[in-house]
Structure 1
Amino acid sequence: MAHISEEVPGDERGTLLLFVESQRTAIRESLAGLTAEQAASRPSASELSLSGLVKHVAGVELTWLRMAQGRADESERSPEDWADAFRLTGDETIESVQAFWDEVTAELVAFVRDLPSLDESFPLPPAPWFPENAKVSMRWMLLHLVEEFARHAGHADVIRESLDGTKAMG
């Protein structure tokens, strides 16, 4: 997959896409050189694993894309299987989850590039953490993805360092 930085201009839209990509990359790089067993392990106090984090953020990106598109989210989970969003299940592999995330990323980038304006908005779903009947802009969504991915990139840093001492910043 080509890096977005090679394809987008430095305007606001391009800059936001670059910041989202930067955080995606930080999460993806946390898996470099690990076995599937290492990536699935939970070496820190957290219940999170690196492979589970990748699956989670790919699903989060799809959920926000579908909300912005006004489409149903085909990956939506019930409260009973919520934990499965944070671990590989069935025949899922790191490679299959990353390939899925590549597809979601390509779709999100194409969607954002084709928007007439980042001021376009969409409604947030009913949830205790969202104001009732709230709408957000596409700009807000991209900034939220930066926030979400950065939070999980930090988790990934701690997990990776707990695994084998590898530090994201050297």
Structure 2
Amino acid sequence: MNVPARITVCPERQMLEYMLDRNRAELIDTVRGLSETEARRRLVPSMTTSIGLIKHAAFAERKWFQHILGGLPESACDGAMVGEASFDISDDETVADVIAEFERASSRARAIAAGIDLDATREHPACGTVSLRWIYLLMIQEFARHAGHSDILREQTEATRRS
């Protein structure tokens, strides 16, 4: 994922898109260099793993951009659409596969959002009326939080390498 140099002043939409892309890239960077075993290691009681966070982020992209913003039925979205199952990684999926899945979902999200005004609204069954601006802010928050989770998992993994 190619993120431009740090941007601090620009129009609102450009800033939102930049921050979202930056957080997408940060999340991916947390798994680069981990082995397949390390990326799958469960270091907390939940289903959270480094690779699982990327897989879940791809689900979030599909849910919010393809299904809610784009209006596609869940069956027409290009991947798993079940929340908790989005952390499940099959034995045949690699880190590279999951990163590629997330990058495809991110690319499709960009394409869907490109022609939509920030103030355009859609209905979400649980959240009610949401705007594209709100979706951007939600995804920025979501990916920043998950990058932080994955940073901690990586730090724990790297500590075990040294011991």
Please confirm whether the aligned pair reaches a TM-score higher than 0.5, indicating the same fold. yes
**Are the counterparts in 2 of residues 4 and 21 from structure 1 also a CA contact under 8 Å?**
yes
RMSD: 2.2
**Are the counterparts in 1 of residues 123 and 130 from structure 2 also a CA contact under 8 Å?**
yes
Q: Deviations 1:118-145 (Å, cap 9, x if unpaired)?
A: 10010012x3xx3xxx211100000000
SS in 2 for 1:5: coil
CA distance in 2, matches of 1:95, 1:32: 9
Instruction: Give the aligned length.
Output: 153
- What does residue range 39-78 of structure 1 map to in structure 2 within 5 Å? 39-44=39-44, 46-66=46-66, 67-73=68-74, 74=77, 75-77=80-82
CA distance in 2, matches of 1:70, 1:13: 21
Q: Which residue of 2 aligns with 1:150?
A: 144
Q: Which amino acid aligns with 2:154?
A: R
Q: Which amino acid aligns with 1:120?
A: A
Q: Which residue of 2 aligns with 1:162?
A: 156
- What does residue range 104-143 of structure 1 map to in structure 2 within 5 Å? 104-115=105-116, 117-125=117-125, 127=126, 130=127, 134-143=128-137
Q: Does 1:102 align with 2:96?
A: no
CA distance in 2, matches of 1:111, 1:5: 21
How far 1:12 sits from its partner (Å)? 1.3
Q: Percent identity?
A: 30
Give TM-score, length-normalised by structure 2: 0.84
Q: Which residue of 2 aligns with 1:5?
A: 4
How far 1:112 sits from its partner (Å)? 2.1
Going from structure 1 to structure 2, the CA distance change for 1:90 and 1:33 (only over 3 Å counts) comes to closer
SS in 2 for 1:88: coil
Give TM-score, length-normalised by structure 1: 0.80
Gaps of 5+ in 2: none
Q: Which residue of 2 aligns with 1:27?
A: 27
Gaps of 5+ in 1: none
CA distance in 2, matches of 1:137, 1:84: 27
CA distance in 2, matches of 1:83, 1:109: 24
Going from structure 1 to structure 2, the CA distance change for 1:83 and 1:110 (only over 3 Å counts) comes to closer
**Are the counterparts in 1 of residues 56 and 86 from structure 2 also a CA contact under 8 Å?**
yes
CA distance in 1, matches of 2:107, 2:3: 9
**Are the counterparts in 1 of residues 65 and 113 from structure 2 also a CA contact under 8 Å?**
no
CA distance in 2, matches of 1:89, 1:37: 13
Q: Which amino acid aligns with 1:157?
A: D
